[in-house]
C-alpha cells in the first residue's frame, strides 16, 4: 500500500503562486523585497502554505508588476 506516503489533502495553487515558484531564486528574492517580506515567507506562499493576507496581496501585486514590465518590451 503506497498511498500512505502522500498527504491526503493537497493545496490547490493559484496562477500567481505557480508562476512565482517557477521563477529563479534571484527574481523571487527581489520580488520578496519589493513586497517587504522574506524569501522564506514568499516561498511558503508559493507552495500554498499559511501566510498573512497582507503578504499574499503584496506578493501578487509584485508579481503583477513584473508581468506588466515584461509586456512593455
Taking alpha carbons only, the member of 54, 52, 62, 57 closest to residue 32 is 62
pLDDT for 73: 55
Across 62-67, average pLDDT? 86
* Structural contact between residues 55 and 31, judged by C-beta atoms closer than 8 angstroms: no
Q: How far apart are CA 11 and CA 13, in angstroms?
A: 6
pLDDT for 54: 95
Kindly give, in sequence order, each residue whose CB lies less than 8 Å from that of residue 20, ignoring residues fewer than 6 positions away. Answer: 28, 31, 42, 45, 46, 59, 63
pLDDT for 52: 93
Residue 2 predicted with pLDDT over 70: no
Amino acid at each position: 500500500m503506497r498511498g500512505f506516503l502522500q498527504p491526503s489533502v493537497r493545496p490547490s495553487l493559484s496562477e500567481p503562486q505557480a508562476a512565482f515558484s517557477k521563477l529563479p531564486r534571484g527574481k523571487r528574492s527581489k520580488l520578496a523585497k519589493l513586497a517587504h517580506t522574506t524569501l522564506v515567507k514568499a516561498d511558503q506562499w508559493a507552495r500554498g502554505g499559511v501566510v498573512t493576507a497582507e503578504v499574499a496581496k503584496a506578493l501578487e501585486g509584485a508579481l503583477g508588476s513584473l508581468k506588466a514590465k515584461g509586456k512593455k518590451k
